[in-house]
Amino acid sequence: MQAPVPPSAAPRRTWIRFAAAALAIALAVVGYLSFAAKQTVPDVTFKGIDGQSYTAESLRGKVVMVNFWATSCVTCIKEMPAMVQTYNKYKGQGLEFVAVAMSYDPPNYVLNYAQTRNLPFKVALDTSGEVARSFGDVKLTPTTYVVDRKGNIIKRYVGEPQFAELHQLLEKALAG
């Protein structure tokens, strides 16, 4: 059983609880605002396996999916046919897609995979890891970013996305 609190300590405890609650609310607001703040696509250049280079700026005006993947990633390989279907479904409405192979993925493996599967979108090599670092130091694959026409990142998926949800997001972004 606790000893009774002296009357002089009660207001002090109330003040401490109030201050703790105010601090917790303030931290929650700051956290929400920093999370809710729009992040834009970094100013990067994608080096395509076809020899072409694509800058983030050159993709403005389109809704873009940037998918970090690797040929050694089981989930990446599993999701790739659905990524192809998604691209084919929405490319006529302005969707662009860049599949960025991670720096540790041997370029000849990436080229072989892209050619044998007839990947219909841009496939880029990130041999230095600079693109992955620019996107918040991507380490886990697959990681996919959905970018609106203004270059704002509107969603990041780590792992395979729920494709029904992804399609709804793309439809909304493509309509805007």
* pLDDT at residue 33, rounded to an integer: 38
| pLDDT tens digits along 28-83 | 444 443 344 579 999 999 999 999 999 999 999 999 999 999 999 999 999 999 99
Q: Residue 119 — left, alpha, or beta (φ > 0 → left; ψ -120 to 50 → alpha)?
A: beta
Whole-Å CA distances, 93 to 96, 104, 168: 9, 33, 14
The mean pLDDT of 85-111, rounded to a whole number, is 98
* pLDDT at residue 176, rounded to an integer: 82
pTM: 0.79
* Both structure tokens of 42: 């970094």
